[in-house]
Amino acid sequence: MNSNIRGRYRKEGYCLQSFCQTSLVRSIKRIIEEHFDQTITDYCLMGSDEYRSIVAECQDEINSLNIAEKLVFQEKKIISQFMISPFLLQSRVFLRATRPSKEQIQEYVGYHRESFYSDVEHKHIVDQGMTIWVPIKNVNYRNTLNFIPRSHTIPSTEIKLQPKSEDKSSVKKGSSGHKIGLLYSPKEIIGGVDLTTGVRFDASVGSYIVFSNQLIHGNGINNAEDIRFSIDFNILPHSDKTPVHIPSDFECFSI
Ligand SMILES: [Fe+2]
């Protein structure tokens, strides 16, 4: 059973799991519902800055519960299949609150690997890490996260990138948009990956996905009618043999 999980993860680059308990997910959903008490029309008409500040405030409250630590501890039987303890845990989760069909502004992150945006010192450990993606509310087959099947096996030297052109709602460094995980300097893949093969993860509320940081993912345009809410965070290997500065927002964690 355990070797099956690890074998599938190695082959597909991800693993879909059901939560053993859903109380933490329900707590996050409750916080979201307290912060997002206006109508969908109100939010769709709202400017990017105002909307992103609401998301950032909600994200702060979710993080005040130390949610990443609690989720990892709760799911330690699964997590320990993929990562040797102690590891580096991203202590603050990102809340993704993507409005429907806001294609013209950057409200989701385009196709990427985490290492596209990490500093040079940490690229190698980031590539060996994994992302935990947790759907919280209004996630269905029309709006879950996209990924490129088996793209975790593509050597990074084959992937061609270029800076993405700015748009009128581009994210400023240090702004609310940056704080909630949007990119102030986005890049796009222009070669080495067939982006037309992207598919959506088959995930719904009550489940979560563990995926390799090398699996190309993102581009989650929301084609449904409601705001899609999910959280995500990273886990990186920690080795005494190859010491590096612990990246900001990460801390050593044992399960
Ligand atoms: Fe990502």
Q: Between the ranges 135-139, 142-146, 169-173, 219-223, where is the mean pLDDT highest?
A: 135-139
140 CA to middle of ligand 1, Å? 19
Q: Work out whether strand 207-212 and strand 250-253 pair parallel, antiparallel, or are unpaired.
A: unpaired
Tokens of 42: 């109100």
Tokens of 207: 């489940």
Determine the 3-state secondary structure of 159 from DSSP. Answer: coil
Three-state SS for 84-132 is: CCCEEEECCCEEEEECCCCCCCCCCCCCECHHHHCCHHHHHHHHCCEEE
Separation of first and last alpha carbons in the chain: 20
Q: With CA atoms as reference, report the closest residue to 175 among 49, 64, 91.
A: 49
Length of the chain measured in residues: 255
- The confidence score (pLDDT) of residue 169 equals 46
Average pLDDT over residues 76-92: 94
Greater confidence (109 vs 207) lies with 207
Average pLDDT over residues 174-199: 88
* pLDDT one-digit tens code per residue, 30-81: 999 999 999 999 999 999 899 999 999 999 999 999 999 999 999 999 999 9
38 CA to middle of ligand 1, Å? 28
Residue 2 has pLDDT above 80, yes or no: no
198 CA to middle of ligand 1, Å? 15
3 CA to middle of ligand 1, Å? 26
- The confidence score (pLDDT) of residue 167 equals 55
Average pLDDT over residues 1-12: 86
C-alpha 83/C-alpha 237 separation (Å) is 7
C-alpha 224/C-alpha 79 separation (Å) is 31
Asked if 108 and 98 touch (Cβ cutoff 8 Å), the reply is yes
* pLDDT tier for residue 104 given thresholds of 50, 70 and 90: low
What are the boundaries of each domain within the chain? Answer: 2-237
C-alpha 130/C-alpha 6 separation (Å) is 13
Residue 242 has pLDDT above 50, yes or no: yes
* pLDDT one-digit tens code per residue, 131-156: 999 999 999 888 899 999 999 999 99
Residue range 2-237 in CATH 2.60.120.620: yes
Q: What is the mean pLDDT of the chain?
A: 90
**Is this model's pTM higher than 0.85 or not?**
yes
- The confidence score (pLDDT) of residue 103 equals 60
201 CA to middle of ligand 1, Å? 14
214 CA to middle of ligand 1, Å? 9
